[in-house]
Amino acid sequence: MKSRENKWQLAFDTLKRAINEDATAIERLVVDDDSCCPARELRRERAATLRYVLALAETMESWEWE
């Protein structure tokens, strides 16, 4: 059973890492972008959404799963 749980934890950690990398890359684009084009605002919203997903993931990790 532990092996199966470890696989799920590994998959979850990998997903969180990928989301964090995407959010960081998008945030860099927003900071480096000097224009006020609509794409910048969309990127800002996407980064905020990804950070929210990561916050939800942290909340899920604090729950007791049975």
pLDDT single digits (tens) 20-59? 999 999 999 888 766 667 788 889 999 999 999 999 999 9
Asked whether residue 65 carries a pLDDT value surpassing 90, the answer given is no
Residue 47 near residue 23 (C-beta atoms within 8 A): yes
DSSP 8-state symbol, 63: S
Residue 53, CB-side half-sphere exposure with 13 Å CA sphere: 16
Task: Provide the whole-model pTM.
Answer: 0.80
